[in-house]
Amino acid sequence: MTPDWTPLRETIEGVHFREVKNILTRTGGVTTEVYREDWGLEPAEVKHIIHVILPPQAVSAWHCHRVQTDRIFVVLGRVKIALFDDRDSSPTRGVVSAFHLGLLRPGLLVIPPGVWHGLKNDASEPAGFINFFDHAYRYEDPDEWRLPADTPKIPFKF
């Protein structure tokens, strides 16, 4: 952490993170901005949105895309998101980065094509996230490659 509470972490080329604030409402509830175009995180438009629930301690790893950009926002519980840059042309090739996101630490994580990523629900309750894609899922030709969570090809263990 820096003195102004900015997290220090090695950044993977093309990965963007926007920490956001929860706004306490007069009803006692909470409002949180999930995405705004004027944040300038990247220029791609949103074409497809999914909502995913992970059971307690569940791991969804590893996967990457060749053309699709993921934008992940945790809306329930607590999720660890790990990234691994295996892109030949990237200046951060070989870098691993992890983010801990949830209700108490909201933020939008933008993952570019070619960066492997995995998620783990770190809690004993279900966790959920929404993912905004810049390309719609193609059922006949999915842009998704997977590796097992314990693959030796990625130097990270959940």
The pLDDT tens digits of the residues spanning 4-63 come to 666 666 689 999 888 888 888 898 888 888 888 888 777 668 899 999 999 999 999 999
The pLDDT tens digits of the residues spanning 75-95 come to 999 999 999 999 999 999 999
pLDDT at 28: 84
Kindly calculate the radius of gyration of the chain based on its CA atoms and give it in whole angstroms: 16
The pLDDT tens digits of the residues spanning 88-126 come to 999 999 999 999 999 888 999 999 999 999 999 999 999
Query: Domain 16-34+44-139 in CATH: superfamily?
Result: Jelly Rolls (2.60.120.10)
- Give dist(CA 116, CA 39) in Å, integer: 24
Phi, psi angles (nearest 5°) of residue 28: 90, 0
Mean pLDDT of the chain: 91
pLDDT at 1: 61
pLDDT at 4: 67
Based on the number of CB atoms within 10 Å of its own CB, is 98 exposed (0-12), middle (13-18) or buried (19 or more)?
A: middle
Domain spans in the chain, listed from the N-terminal domain onward? 16-34+44-139
User: How far does CA 42 lie from the centroid of its chain?
Assistant: 14
The whole-model pTM stands at 0.87
